[in-house]
Amino acid sequence: MDCMPFALDLETLPGAVPVRRAVVSSDKLRSVCTAVHESGGLLHALWGCDERDRKGGYLLRVALQDAAGLLLLELPMNAAQPCFPTLADIFPAAERMQRAVYDLLGLRAQEGDTRPWLRHASWPADCFPLRRDYDDRGIRAAQNESYRFVRVTGDGVHEIAVGPVHAGTIEPGHFRFSVVGEKVLRLEERLGYTHKGIEKRFETQPLMQGQRLAARVSGDSAVAFSWAYCMALEGLCGITPPPRALWLRALCLERERIANHLGDLGALGNDAGFAVGLAQFSRLKEDLLRANQRAFGTRYLMDALAPGGIRCNLDEANRRDLLATVPPLVAEISTLHEIYDDHAGLQDRFTGTGRVEPALARKLGLIGLAGRASGQSWDIRCDHAYAPYDKLAVRMQGRLQGDVAARVAVRFEETLESLRLCQMLLENLPGGELQLSLPPPAKRLGIGWIEGWRGPVLIALEPGEDGLIRRCHPHDPSWQNWPVIEHAVMGNIVADFPLINKSFNLSYSGQDL
Amino acid sequence: MNIVTLITQLTEVILAVVAAPLLMGWVNQCRAWLQNRRGPGVLQPYRQIRKLFHKDAVIAAQASPLFRLVPYVQFASMCLAAAIIPSLWTGLPFAVAADTIALVGLFATARVFLALAAMDIGTAFGSMGARREMLVGFLAEPALLMVFFTASLISHSTSLPTIVETLAQGRLAIYPSLAFAGVAFLMVLLAENARIPVDNPATHLELTMIHEATVLEYSARHLALIEWSVALKLFNYTCIGLALFFPWGLATGAHSLRDLLLAIPITGLKLLVAGFGLALIESLNAKMRIFRAPEFLASAFLLAVLGLLVHLLLGS
């Protein structure tokens, strides 16, 4: 986007990914957002900070994504009446983030939905846990509050309420379907059941160990979040980790991607009643996790990364071992790909189900893997190739159909692409140091931005006094993608919802925080 | 009815009730093998039923007496059905009381009661399951009746033992009409027993369930009885299929003890093969969209009608 007409005072933040920052007024916030939207950009994250102890008042931070990288807008608000103009009419994805900002900090969007999002009556409506003067002693849970779901009326319309406790072992979320017969007229999601106060918890963590909590924001994206955290911190300290550490981080990230894609491909087969798919893909995933255990000492690569580098080395024997597993895995996945493609029953279930047209995806800001299956070609590994991806020339995968079949196809292709990357990473792994010690960080904002398996994850980190974290905001792409599912199921039949939901496979924990 | 026929009748029913979970276990075990899994063993359904009988039942506060009654109705209907299906031998004194039409009615009774119980609690899933179950049911029943009519035309009787005796004793003639009816029957069997591709008995996704959604509110002994009757239903259907299309080896006519004893291993062997075949079909197919079920069952009906026409036109 061309920022010239807005006379923004842009400051480039140091770090591995391009981030520009500007302080804006209310009016300018909306006009810049509109301009970014019109030039093809999208909203990435929206969060608030309590700055009353330093500059006075509150701060709203809006991260926009355009072709040049991240554009971070900061809107200062006074302490007495903190409110900001709504962005939900420009970026529909902003709505839930704005509701969450109110629940946690009491910053109110001037228009739009005022129902609570993260606050499920576990604390009173006039308490805001992310404020710095919040004291949880003496806080009682509020009385059971009712939540107004949007009612659909008409001849033969009835509601099916599903969750938050489900028949399978999955994360909790409530889904309210308004249906006629089997056809879904409207779906309304209610999430926030796994809110556990991660952002508040960050404020008590030592800066040098925050990556451990970041890895646990959403367990399936442990590497992505911990890398984003480390990237933010290293940007603040002004260092670049040694090449070997970066290459090993990329190896971990790609293995995390492969493991999740394998799990999802199996689960998608199973949800369509094709249990053979689940059995085969589960076996492949388990083999991969065991190889992780042998090579890195952790199955899900939890705590593999550390600020300044990487904690676990890969010795020569393990390097060869991992390298040897790549070709047979490629062969097996290709065989299963053929089986999925040739199976008439599966293709009948996948094709045309849960379609998100590229135009709708663009309007709603669909991102990540699901976005690429709907023609939204964003991938930080290609767009702003941070090291070591600048040397790997990642091939972006994509589809235009936007249905379950497209998301399955993108998963297959990304898995094979990740295996190609793994092979390159293992073959050309540089030697040298694993970890640098960090100089004291600058007292400012650091941004980490990593393309996880689900989509881009963002960490915004500010150091505080005594080596603690002042504020850390982790952002999972599920925030943007959950509302899209409400649109994806419209006009489909109720029985296809689990399949559509699984084809996105969004995180509950990652967005409930 | 003398004492010997009474004993054979009772033995047949008891064997069916006892062996039904074994068939279910065998099908599940075969499915596991076909998916490269180790599987829980063929005795798993017995363990499951025993476990459920040892638990305390939890019943919704607003449940009516009908809800408690239905598991017993289910189980009793399936036992009655087992009594008139010639699974081992055809000399079944009870079978005189009920012909194939009554048998279809018996299955329908069980289904109607299950749907009523599902709606009784008033949960969204129960009503959804009941609705889908009735959709499958009202399409499957005519197809099943047509299959029986085709077989009845050959034997000029609607009594199941008579049909089977005619087919078993007849010259080893191949009836083209029965080939059509056989395929139709297989499709009905898959739909009626909530198997893939119509329903997925192993799913945990409450929104996709058909049969499972109707029994979500049941627990403990009620659930045990329902699971047992589900196993018995599969057993009954498989035995009907074997009796109609592969009747060889059944003890027919005047039984000698040797015939009776020989029928048991032969039927057992046929059930093993049939169970493996069922597992194979389930492993090769994906579950279809729920709105494909009417097309699927309409094809079954069409095939059964074709069988009937083939018989009428070709006289074979």
pLDDT in tens, A276-294: 899 999 999 999 999 999 9
Tell how far CA A111 is from the center of its chain.
26
Answer for the pair B30, B275: CB distance below 8 angstroms, yes or no.
yes
For all residues of chain B together, what is the average pLDDT?
A: 88
Å between B117 CA and nearest CA of chain A: 18
pLDDT on residue A89: 92
Residues 249-278 of A with CB under 8 A from B: 269, 271-276, 278
Rounded to an integer, the average pLDDT of A478-488 is 93
Among A148, A168, A190, residue at a domain's last position = A190
Under an 8 A CB cutoff, do B205 and A167 touch?
yes
Q: A484 and A375 in one domain? A: yes
Å between B273 CA and nearest CA of chain A: 21
Q: A333 and A224 in one domain? A: yes
pLDDT on residue B170: 65
Q: The domain containing residue A508 runs over which residues? A: 198-512
Which residue matches tokens 């180790």? B38
Q: A104 and A220 in one domain? A: no
Among A140, A173, A190, residue at a domain's last position = A190
Among B124, B197, B207, select the one facing A345 at the smallest CB separation: B197
Q: In chain B, what is the straight-line distance between the N-terminal and C-terminal CA atoms, in Å? A: 35
pLDDT on residue A370: 93
CATH number for position A477: 1.10.645.10
Burial of A133 (0-12, 13-18, 19+ CB in 10 A): exposed
pLDDT at A207 over 70: yes
pLDDT at A480 over 60: yes
pLDDT on residue B262: 84
Question: Which whole-number Å values give the CA distances from A341 to A276, A334, A413, A505, B193, in the listed order?
Answer: 14, 10, 13, 21, 28
Q: Is A472 contained in some domain? A: yes
Q: Which residues of A79-110 are buried (b: 16+ CB within 10 A; e: fewer)?
A: eeebbbbbbbebbbbbbbbbbbbbbbbbbbbe
Question: Which whole-number Å values give the CA distances from B316 to B153, B172, B309, B311, in the listed order?
Answer: 10, 13, 10, 5
Closest-CA residue of A relative to B217 is A167
Å between A192 CA and nearest CA of chain B: 21
Residues 184-213 of B with CB under 8 A from A: 196-197, 200, 202-208
Which residues of chain A make contact with B291, given a CB cutoff of 8 A? 182, 493
Among A168, A349, A498, select the one facing B289 at the smallest CB separation: A349
Asked if B290 is an interface residue toward chain A (Cβ–Cβ < 8 A), one would say yes
pLDDT at B172 over 70: no
Q: A202 and A186 in one domain? A: no
Q: A259 and A174 in one domain? A: no
pLDDT on residue A339: 92
Instruction: List the structure tokens of B306.
Output: 């074709």
Q: A362 and A262 in one domain? A: yes
At A131, which amino acid appears?
R
Strands A108-109 and A83-84: parallel
CATH number for position A10: 3.30.460.80
pLDDT at B20 over 90: yes
Among A160, A346, A499, select the one facing B128 at the smallest CB separation: A160
Whole-model pTM: value is: 0.88
With a pLDDT cut of 90, the percent of chain A lying above it is 56
Strands A456-463 and A469-475: antiparallel
Among A70, A90, A109, residue at a domain's last position = A109
What is residue A64's three-state secondary structure? strand
pLDDT band, residue A119 (cuts 50/70/90)? confident
pLDDT on residue A10: 83
Q: Is the N-terminal amide bond of A441 cis, ω within 30° of 0?
A: no
pLDDT on residue A61: 93
Q: A216 and A91 in one domain? A: no
Q: A230 and A185 in one domain? A: no
Q: What angle do CA A279, A280, A285 make, to 5 degrees?
A: 100
Question: What stretch of H or E contains A47?
Answer: strand A42-50
Q: Is A454 contained in some domain? A: yes
Could you count the other beta carbons within 10 Å of the beta carbon of residue A351? 14
pLDDT digits (tens, 9 = 90+) for A11-63: 888 888 899 999 998 888 999 999 999 998 999 999 999 988 887 889 999 99
Under an 8 A CB cutoff, do B207 and A494 touch?
yes
pLDDT band, residue B99 (cuts 50/70/90)? confident
Rounded to an integer, the average pLDDT of A97-113 is 90
Å between B189 CA and nearest CA of chain A: 18
Which residues of chain A make contact with B292, given a CB cutoff of 8 A? 348
Calpha distance A442→A435 (Å, rounded): 20
Calpha distance A72→A74 (Å, rounded): 7
Q: Is A174 contained in some domain? A: yes
pLDDT band, residue B156 (cuts 50/70/90)? confident
pLDDT band, residue A250 (cuts 50/70/90)? very high
Q: Which residue has the higher pLDDT, B278 or A126?
A: B278
pLDDT band, residue B92 (cuts 50/70/90)? confident
Q: Is A318 contained in some domain? A: yes
Residues 105-164 of A with CB under 8 A from B: 158-162
Choose the mutation target among B31, B135, B208, B215 for the interface with A, i.e. most A CBs under 10 Å. B208
Q: A224 and A170 in one domain? A: no
Measured N-to-C along each axis, helices B44-53 and B220-245 cross at an angle, to the nearest 10 degrees, of 150
Burial of A318 (0-12, 13-18, 19+ CB in 10 A): middle
Strand partners, A463: A469
- State how many domains chain A has: 3
Q: A495 and A357 in one domain? A: yes
pLDDT at B35 over 90: no
Å between B204 CA and nearest CA of chain A: 5
pLDDT at B108 over 60: yes
pLDDT band, residue B89 (cuts 50/70/90)? confident
Rounded to an integer, the average pLDDT of B141-167 is 87
Q: Is A125 contained in some domain? A: no
Rounded to an integer, the average pLDDT of A267-281 is 89
Rounded to an integer, the average pLDDT of B123-148 is 90
Residues 117-146 of B with CB under 8 A from A: 124-125, 128
pLDDT at A382 over 70: yes
Q: A267 and A215 in one domain? A: yes
Q: Is A508 contained in some domain? A: yes
pLDDT on residue A3: 57
Calpha distance A116→A104 (Å, rounded): 10
Rounded to an integer, the average pLDDT of A477-496 is 92
pLDDT band, residue B1 (cuts 50/70/90)? low
Q: Is A140 contained in some domain? A: no
pLDDT band, residue B115 (cuts 50/70/90)? very high
**Dihedral angle, C-alpha B284, B288, B292, B295, nearest 10 °:** 10
pLDDT digits (tens, 9 = 90+) for A300-345: 999 899 998 898 888 889 999 999 999 999 999 999 999 999 998 8
Which residue matches tokens 């129960």? B126
At A95, which amino acid appears?
E
Close Cβ partners of A107 (under 8 Å, ≥ 6 residues apart): A48, A58, A60, A77, A82, A83, A84, A101
Answer for the pair A479, A93: CB distance below 8 angstroms, yes or no.
yes
Q: A163 and A248 in one domain? A: no
Calpha distance B180→A35 (Å, rounded): 67
Question: What stretch of H or E contains A324?
Answer: helix A316-342
pLDDT on residue B253: 66
Residues 325-354 of A with CB under 8 A from B: 343, 345-346, 348-349
Lowest-confidence pick of A169-173, B68-72, B218-222:
A169-173
Å between A271 CA and nearest CA of chain B: 8
Rounded to an integer, the average pLDDT of B281-285 is 89
pLDDT band, residue B171 (cuts 50/70/90)? low
